[in-house]
Amino acid sequence: MAKFERRLWHGDPSGMSRKDRQPCEYQVYIPDNLVHRTFSLEGGVSADVVDAESALVRFNADASSLVNTEALARILLRAESVASSKIEGLVIGARRILRAEVENSIDGSATDVTATEVLANIQAMVYGIEQIEKDKPITLKLILSIHERLLAGTKLSEYGGKLREEQNWIGGSDFNPCSANYVPPPWELVKGLMEDLIAFCNSEDLPAVAQAAIAHAQFETIHPFIDGNGRTGRILIQLILRRRGLAMRISPPVSLILATWAKDYVSGLTATRYIGEHFSAEALEGTNTWVGRFAAACSRSVIDAMEFEARAQKIENEWRSRLMNVRKGSSTDLLLQKLVGAPVLTVKSASMLTGKTLSATNKAINQLVAAGILHQVGIGGRNRAYEAPEIIEAFSDLERQLASPEGDTRNSKPTRHVPARIKKNNQEE
């Protein structure tokens, strides 16, 4: 039975004010386990889930009809990671992250701190997705490995891949949870709750979209890590959709929609935190509210992805018309196909993408520069790179809606906190 439990905070001598330093009482939320729970989806919500699953399956089956599937998958996965990071306040534009990605590939490090964190999110998501195939189990070890990669290179890297052994909270003071908006379960319950969550993720009693929605909400409720909970929890969504066979080739940019629907996203998660029995009216209503919103986000993500795919195909067709008579299988032909997924590249990275020699690749790049398809830019000082501005603009438009007031999550999502001795000067999610 889900409940709030009263706890005593013993005070923090490093607090800024007397109130911060004094002992106080707070309430932690202890959720029900998911395994063996009864979930009942209302008719309308059930229909939304079916529509979302049909859209995801259709998109994964039909995506290759327009552009190179691998390239499309790469850019959409990047958009998903960037949007997930934006939800946590890591705001970065399309051109900036693409250039940082190339800079990182050249010398192993990007000078842009925010870009480094977002790149870690991309790498963590790629790693996680590569570990999962249809019907392959999700494990706690995998989640910990994903989290370790997410925090690698940050000031909190020592906590990467480790379940928290401290109390954390959302909102209120940096020094105690007594005025917090939400306090997750105490750390000693985290391992058991995570083991239950993993078992739920590997079940097949519910439709995949409903399962991903409920698992994500439970993950955010548990808040198992010192930092990186939101981003790891949204990677979990992709793992479940892939494991259940809905996103085997292309990951839908669900976070793009969740970020745009920030207030509904947060209130939907909150609605799942009921008090009492799991079969109560409050529990069932909260679950249906969240699952319905999540299903709508999945369906909308497919629409946005298909619009981007169509725009990318139109751009590629215009390029080919501009060049005229591009020989099939040539370096230029292959490079045009790859630009959708890698709109900022070097001669070396382009050679690796196309499988052609550096000499042939350099010749193809010069041809694209002469046609105005690629522009030469400087990356990381003296390094020479090239970018396709039309694709970058399309990528920017795919996630530009996040810049609108409605999509600004910083005004709708409370700050997350851990004890000040851990937080120091770091933002915790």
Q: Smallest Cα–Cα separation from 377: which of 98, 82, 118, 120?
A: 98
**Is residue 428 pLDDT above 60, yes or no?**
no
Mean pLDDT for 88-115 is: 77
- pLDDT exceeding 70 applies to what percent of the chain? 87
Residue 185 CB neighbours (<10 A): 19
**Is residue 334 pLDDT above 80, yes or no?**
yes
Beta pairing class for 375-379 and 344-345: unpaired
The pLDDT of residue 73: 78
**Is residue 411 pLDDT above 70, yes or no?**
no
Residue 223 CA to residue 211 CA, distance in Å, equals 18
Q: Which residues pair with 282 in a beta bridge?
A: none
Q: Smallest Cα–Cα separation from 251: which of 240, 260, 264, 262?
A: 240
Mean pLDDT of the chain: 87
Which residue's entry shows tokens 């051109």?
Answer: 95
- Do the Cβ atoms of 347 and 358 come closer than 8 Å? yes
The pLDDT of residue 249: 86
Q: List, in sequence order, the alpha helices (H) in 229-280.
A: 229-243, 254-260, 262-271
The pLDDT of residue 108: 63
- Do the Cβ atoms of 59 and 46 come closer than 8 Å? no
- H or E stretch at 133: none
Using CA atoms, how far residue 180 sits from 32, 60, 170, in Å, is 21, 42, 6
Q: pLDDT higher for 265 or 20? A: 265
- Do the Cβ atoms of 386 and 138 come closer than 8 Å? no
Instruction: Give 182's DSSP letter.
Output: B
Instruction: Give 402's DSSP letter.
Output: G
Q: pLDDT higher for 312 or 380? A: 312
Mean pLDDT for 183-189 is: 97
Tokens of 264: 């509904």
Model confidence at 14, in pLDDT bands (50, 70, 90)? low
Model confidence at 130, in pLDDT bands (50, 70, 90)? very high
Find the angle CA(87)-CA(92)-CA(93) to the nearest 5 degrees.
120
| Window from 66-70, 287-291, 305-309, 421-425 with minimum mean pLDDT | 421-425
Tell whether pTM > 0.75: yes
Residue 132 CA to residue 125 CA, distance in Å, equals 11
Residue 217 CA to residue 372 CA, distance in Å, equals 47
Name the amino acid, one letter, at 305: A
Name the amino acid, one letter, at 288: N
Residue 111 CA to residue 273 CA, distance in Å, equals 41
Q: Sort 123 into a burial class: Cβ within 10 Å, 0-12 / 13-18 / 19+.
A: middle
Model confidence at 390, in pLDDT bands (50, 70, 90)? very high
**Is residue 170 pLDDT above 60, yes or no?**
yes
Q: Identify the structural domains of the chain with CATH numbers, from first to last.
A: 41-154+186-307 (1.10.3290.10), 314-398 (1.10.10.10)
The pLDDT of residue 414: 44
